[in-house]
Amino acid sequence: MRRILLVAIVALMALSAAGCLGGTPADISWATPTGSAVSGTEQEIQQLFDAYTQALVTRDRNAFLSLIDAGNPDFLARQQQFFDYTENVPFDRYSVKLNSLSEEGDGSVTAKTSEAFTLKGSFAALPDAERAGYRLVRGDNGWKIAGDATLQALGKARDARLWDLGKVEVTIGEHAIVLYLAAGKATAVQARVFADRAYPQLTEALPGVQMPLVPVWVFSSKEQIDQAYPGQWQDWVGGASHQLGYDEEQGGEIILDAGLFNEIGSKNPEYNRKMIAHELTHVALFSRTGDKTPSFLVEGLADYVAGLEATPYLAGKLRSGEAVSPTLRDLYQPSGFNVLISDEAATLAYEIADTAVAYLEQEYGNEKVVSLLREFKRRESDNQPQDQLVDEAFRSILDVGADEFENGWRLYVLAG
């Protein structure tokens, strides 16, 4: 059970943070509006970026390097390294889209771009784009990329990718594509096995859910992850999931800290298996949940797929008539898990969520759970108070109101 984990507090926070701290899709409102005039220069530079990404995807090293200006040896060396460190990465598409150009005093231009890629066999649609900037120069043979101008163009350096930290290796399972650095191999193999084991449990709990290969990025340490996802992962430990866009086809990914994965795994091997199953469920739920989906449903389902544990803490409190905080009703709120401040509140919240989903599954069945998810997603833009919305959704899908559901759940917990 969760509370006796050696690293209980951090581990709890890992699960509570997981899926809640995923980055929100990028703001691309600054991008050049579609339909705006494209000058000859813009067209040439877009063609340069197209050739660059084409060479990357088709692994044509000479073509790739021929597009880099030789006048900046540091940048050239970094581009060589980028190409070589991504040798094993099965890019399906890599997109660098030109958004705007500005001329510099020295005759070069700075390009603002939005960038995204997909992996073969994984989610098909490009994820929400990241912004970047390049310095470009025009030589006798046309335009070349002469430097990374992200910092100058956007005021912040680009976030690190796994391949900025070393050569990326890849191991592919039935349901996950795991990318890692050499030192993370053992973690990567375990993560692949755990994801494949979790998938059937996921599709059993949520009939109709299907996912292509889910990317799993294995970083070596929390420090590395902070470089890749700055400011986003304060509280999580071990692993977390990250939403890549709002569409099902954009999907999500799982991020792992190999150092902690090994440390926790040596003390409690089950923790990692459950953590991967939990995060995989979050990836499946990203596109199936909306602004009105109760948090107990999301976290409870992720734990349900991972395998439920006993909930003596909650049962004891209910039996003794002690006040329970948070309450199930608090966890109707989509942000219900983001406001838990104590270890005790987090433990209780998970026990409430887990038992509520177990009760749902047992009393109403998995098809109703899927219908309930769909109903909350459908009501994403409804404006009534959340308690009322949940009551209405329960009535329309389960034929009981929230009060009756809660009474049934309470009896279920007490009987457990």
- Interaction pattern, residues 216-255, with Zn ion; x per rule: CB under 5 A: ----------------------------------------
3-state SS string for the chain: CHHHCCCHHHHHHHHHHCCCCCCCCCCCCCCCCCCCCCCHHHHHHHHHHHHHHHHHHCCCHHHHHHCECCCCHHHHHHHHHHHHHCCCCCEEEEEEEEEEEEECCCCCEEEEEEEEEEECCECCCCCCCEEEEEEEEEECCEEEEEEECHHHHHCCCCCCCHHHCCCEEEEECCCEEEEEEHHHHHHHHHHHHHHHHHHHHHHHHCCCCCCCEEEEEEECCHHHHHHHCCCCCCCCCCEEEEECCCCCCCCEEEEEEHHHHHHHHHHCHHHHHHHHHHHHHHHHHHCCCCCCCCHHHHHHHHHHHHCCCCCHHHHHHHHHCCCCCCCCCHHHCCCCCCCCCCHHHHHHHHHHHHHHHHHHHHHHCHHHHHHHHHHHHHCCCCCCCHHHHHHHHHHHHHCCCHHHHHHHHHHHHHHC
| Candidates 121-129, 157-165, 299-307, 403-411; binding stretch for Zn ion (CB under 5 A) | 299-307
By C-beta, is 89 or 353 nearer to Zn ion?
353
Q: What's the rounded Cα separation, in Å, for the pair 132 and 332? A: 39
By C-beta, is 299 or 375 nearer to Zn ion?
299
- CA angle, 351 then 354 then 358, to 5°: 135
Residue 73 backbone zone (phi > 0: left; psi -120 to 50: alpha; other: beta): alpha
Cβ of residue 396: shortest distance to Zn ion, in angstroms?
A: 26
For 348, the token pair is 């209780």
116 to 175, contacts with Zn ion by CB under 5 A?
none
- Interaction pattern, residues 336-375, with Zn ion; x per rule: CB under 5 A: ----------------------------------------
For Zn ion, the binding residue among 12, 13, 14, 18 (CB under 5 A) is 18
| Candidates 131-139, 293-301, 307-315, 381-389; binding stretch for Zn ion (CB under 5 A) | 293-301
For Zn ion, the binding residue among 13, 19, 274, 347 (CB under 5 A) is 19
| Candidates 173-181, 225-233, 291-299, 392-400; binding stretch for Zn ion (CB under 5 A) | 291-299
By C-beta, is 133 or 300 nearer to Zn ion?
300
| Candidates 18-26, 123-131, 289-297, 348-356; binding stretch for Zn ion (CB under 5 A) | 18-26
By C-beta, is 53 or 289 nearer to Zn ion?
289
Cβ of residue 350: shortest distance to Zn ion, in angstroms?
A: 9
By C-beta, is 145 or 301 nearer to Zn ion?
301
Q: What's the rounded Cα separation, in Å, for the pair 199 and 79? A: 37
By C-beta, is 18 or 132 nearer to Zn ion?
18
Cβ of residue 15: shortest distance to Zn ion, in angstroms?
A: 5
Q: What's the rounded Cα separation, in Å, for the pair 347 and 341? A: 11
For Zn ion, the binding residue among 56, 146, 284, 302 (CB under 5 A) is 302
Q: Does 191 bind Zn ion (CB under 5 A)?
A: no
By C-beta, is 19 or 265 nearer to Zn ion?
19
Cβ of residue 353: shortest distance to Zn ion, in angstroms?
A: 9
By C-beta, is 19 or 294 nearer to Zn ion?
19
By C-beta, is 163 or 233 nearer to Zn ion?
233
41 to 80, contacts with Zn ion by CB under 5 A?
none
| Candidates 11-19, 28-36, 245-253, 385-393; binding stretch for Zn ion (CB under 5 A) | 11-19
Q: Which amino acid is at 9?
A: I
Q: What's the rounded Cα separation, in Å, for the pair 179 and 177? A: 7
Q: Name which of 263, 255, 254, 186 is nearest 226 in CA terms.
A: 255
| Candidates 150-158, 175-183, 192-200, 292-300; binding stretch for Zn ion (CB under 5 A) | 292-300
By C-beta, is 302 or 360 nearer to Zn ion?
302
By C-beta, is 19 or 336 nearer to Zn ion?
19
Cβ of residue 58: shortest distance to Zn ion, in angstroms?
A: 38
Cβ of residue 303: shortest distance to Zn ion, in angstroms?
A: 8
Q: Binding-site residue total for Zn ion (CB under 5 A)?
A: 4
Q: What is the binding site for Zn ion (CB under 5 A)?
A: 18-19, 299, 302
